[in-house]
Chains A and B, each alone.
Chain A
Amino acid sequence: MSIFVAQDTRLLIQGMGRMGQFHCGLSQEFGTEVVAGIAPGKAGLTLQGVPIFESVRDAVRETGANTSVVFVPGPFAADAVLEAVAAGIGLVVAVTEFIPVRDMLRVCHAISGSGSRLIGPNCPGLLSPGEKIRIGISPSSIFRAGEVGVVSRSGTLTYESVNQLSKLGIGQSTCIGIGGDPIPGTNFIDVLDAFEKDPATRAVVMIGEIGGSAEEEAAEFVSSEMSKPVAAFIAGRTAPPGKRMGHAGAIISGGSGAAIDKLQALEKAGIAVAESPAEIGKTLRQAAGL
């Protein structure tokens, strides 16, 4: 079982360009059912064996798509997310990087209360090895099915930790990249809450980084609401203040967002924190007694 998606996932790909088609193929190989794609001016064609539509509304009506992944470029991505939610898509995963903050503020407020969930943007997406569901861009070969949930603001650090877990023989239930942007559709607490309630998840790995206060808020949630063991890593202990470290959200500004504050909050909440990024897997194994 996976969180946020079910076995009846019928995936729609918004933005069937080069990247959309490439990852469409990889998701299909992994066993995910891709039912439709959107590409402007290509309606009626079939790409990667998938019928292409002009609008999400048409794709949903014709194929029963219930989940979508957005590869649309930054300037147009907010519109794509709103279109998917308006068409009744229950889960939208936005891989797109470089979406303006103002657009994301509007989107997050507009879709709250709609019943739809947005994961991302600027994220690798969701992968559930046991359910054979791959939505996004993760390299599927490193995953193995199991009982550890992974949630992370960083794509490559998700891969790094998943790889460490798999090499230790520890499989994963669901892995979710919530993205490196300052205004994410889904935050740590949303995912931690779902993992706590998910009978298929026994322990959780949480990967944070500098910028904002999402890790501090998550730490509080873990200490008051969670019974399952959590292991964590925070990237950016050596990052200088005032500099954007690759991700739009990874910046220490106005005296907040430093790694040390996050580390203290995590430790105070009883979360096992890996000192080294090479020890994330081992830290989880110890914390969960696996």
Chain B
Amino acid sequence: MNVHEYQAKALLREYGVEVPVGKLAMSAEEAEAAASEIGGTVAVKAQIHAGGRGKGGGIKVVKTPADARSAAAAMLGSRLVTPQTDVEGKLVRRVYVEAGTQIDRELYFAILVDRSTQNVVVLASTEGGVEIEAVAAETPEKILTVQVDPLVGLSDYQVRNLGLDLGLEGKQAASLVKLGQALYRLFVEKDCSQVEVNPLVVSGDSVIALDCKLNFDDNALFRHPDIRELRDLDEEDAREAEASDYDLSWVSLEGNIGCMVNGAGLAMATMDIIKLYGGSPANFLDVGGGVTPEGATRAFRLILADPNVKAILVNIFGGIVRCDVIAEGVIEAARSIGLKVPLVVRLDGTNAEQGRKMLEESGLDIVSAKGMADAAEAVCKVARG
């Protein structure tokens, strides 16, 4: 789960990390008031769940409250396109007005999980304020890493050494140790999957988190009701959010073949094989292991709600999922909403015979396929029309 910058900064402040003074504004008037309350130069920052906002005009540094008002007015209600959004961009619903900060140097600091070593890893770089992926690709030696045994935790000396390697001196290094420990505590206590401060600015004797991105482990949200409350459904794809309410795993894509599959691996492989046969998937959908006829019906409704969908492929290899349950859901959804596009179904595994028979007897216009290749070929053909 992602959160906005202003929410992340509130958490950082709670953990004792130095961040600039800032106020959230929902309107141009509020932005003006915030700027005059903060005083001096301020940054007006669009709050969306995507990085690279500066490049898209989503961050403006202004000197007066009147300028803060006009900067906010231009952002609010507009769609912000950044290197990390799609071409449509994201609607800006709120801005964050933040005190200007003296910037001596821009660094990078992050904490995440290293899947290979099964450790927590702290990353730091002298190359702050730019995309870290570009730094990693072009000058990997400029990314410093510290492995942290999760049973031991982060030691002060590890951050101190990082500070030395980053060229920090005296009180700056001490400030980094304090920040590093606070962020590590936040990472662990709130079950973050990523804490990224970019840039981390050196300002006089201090290091200050000028921007911050927090991601949380969805599987751990059950123990963090406070974090769950920060979820902003407006920032999520509507169908992905609806699917998650039914325990369906959905990702919206840009093609025209709707997919309903059981299991994440098979669902990805189904997208791949559609592409191989010249088609293009409209979605990724894993109905999961415990799917009920109602769940299958809902899944099917979600697919049918996409106006781009020209054909549907149901690909089920029944293990725990029973093919007759899927067939029941498909029939129910097709009957109640009306099936206006061709449907190709491949059922294999548990109760496949029974499922196929149910579909046959339903009177619905369904192409029954044997195996994945047959199914993909058939659905790509009908999608082309």
Contact B372 A160 (CB under 8 A): yes
Query: In the complex, A243→B191 CA distance in Å?
Result: 19
Query: In the complex, A246→B251 CA distance in Å?
Result: 9
The stretch among B37-45, B200-208, B301-309, B314-322 that forms the contact with chain A is B314-322
Query: In the complex, A183→B113 CA distance in Å?
Result: 9
Q: A100-B217, A246-B268, A278-B372 are in contact. Are A156 and B262 (CB under 8 A)?
A: yes
List A residues 263-277 near B (Cβ within 8 Å): 275-277
Closest Cβ of chain B to A22, distance in Å, is 9
Query: In the complex, A207→B317 CA distance in Å?
Result: 16
For this complex, into which size category does the number of interface residues on chain A fall? 35 or more
CB-CB under 8 A from A244, the residues of chain B are 249, 251
Partner of B317 from the list A98, A102, A163 (CB cut-off 8 Å) is A163
List B residues 283-337 near A (Cβ within 8 Å): 284, 286, 289-290, 317-320
Contact A240 B371 (CB under 8 A): no
* Given A180-B264, A247-B265, 8 extra CB contacts under 8 A: A74-B219, A102-B188, A105-B113, A105-B120, A182-B113, A217-B116, A238-B275, A247-B264
Interface residues of chain A, those whose CB is within 8 Å of chain B, are 19, 74-75, 97-103, 105-106, 108-110, 124, 137-139, 142, 152-160, 163, 180, 182-183, 207, 209-210, 212-214, 217, 233, 235-240, 242-250, 254-255, 275-279
- For B132, B268, B272, B372, which residue has the most chain A Cβ atoms within 10 angstroms? B268
Digitize B254-290: 1 where CB-to-A-CB distance is under 8 Å, 0 elsewhere.
0000000111111111111111100001001010011
Contact B273 A278 (CB under 8 A): yes
Q: What are 20 contact pairs spanning A and B, CB under 8 A?
A: A97-B289, A100-B223, A138-B319, A154-B264, A154-B268, A157-B266, A159-B319, A160-B372, A180-B264, A183-B118, A207-B265, A212-B115, A235-B266, A236-B268, A245-B267, A246-B264, A246-B284, A250-B268, A276-B276, A277-B273
Partner of B281 from the list A153, A183, A238 (CB cut-off 8 Å) is A238
Contact B137 A248 (CB under 8 A): no
Contact A102 B191 (CB under 8 A): yes
Contact B317 A239 (CB under 8 A): no
List B residues 119-159 near A (Cβ within 8 Å): 119-120, 132-133, 136-137, 149-151
Contact A210 B268 (CB under 8 A): yes
Contact B317 A156 (CB under 8 A): yes
Partner of A233 from the list B269, B275, B376 (CB cut-off 8 Å) is B269
Query: In the complex, A75→B120 CA distance in Å?
Result: 21
In the complex, B5 has a CB within 8 A of chain A: no
Query: In the complex, A209→B220 CA distance in Å?
Result: 23
Closest Cβ of chain B to A140, distance in Å, is 10
Partner of B319 from the list A98, A155, A236, A239 (CB cut-off 8 Å) is A155
Query: In the complex, A163→B266 CA distance in Å?
Result: 13
CB-CB under 8 A from A105, the residues of chain B are 113, 118-120, 150
Q: A105-B150, A106-B151 are in contact. Are A209 and B118 (CB under 8 A)?
A: no
Query: In the complex, A106→B262 CA distance in Å?
Result: 30
Contact A212 B264 (CB under 8 A): no
Contact B268 A209 (CB under 8 A): yes
Query: In the complex, A261→B113 CA distance in Å?
Result: 20
The closest CB in chain B to the CB of A247 belongs to: B264
CB-CB under 8 A from B218, the residues of chain A are 248
Digitize B194-219: 1 where CB-to-A-CB distance is under 8 Å, 0 elsewhere.
00000000000000000000000111
Contact A124 B319 (CB under 8 A): yes
Contact B319 A137 (CB under 8 A): yes
Contact B319 A109 (CB under 8 A): no
The closest CB in chain A to the CB of B112 belongs to: A254
Contact A155 B219 (CB under 8 A): no
The closest CB in chain B to the CB of A139 belongs to: B319
Contact A102 B220 (CB under 8 A): yes
Contact A157 B191 (CB under 8 A): no
Contact A156 B265 (CB under 8 A): yes
- For B132, B261, B276, which residue has the most chain A Cβ atoms within 10 angstroms? B276
In the complex, B253 has a CB within 8 A of chain A: yes
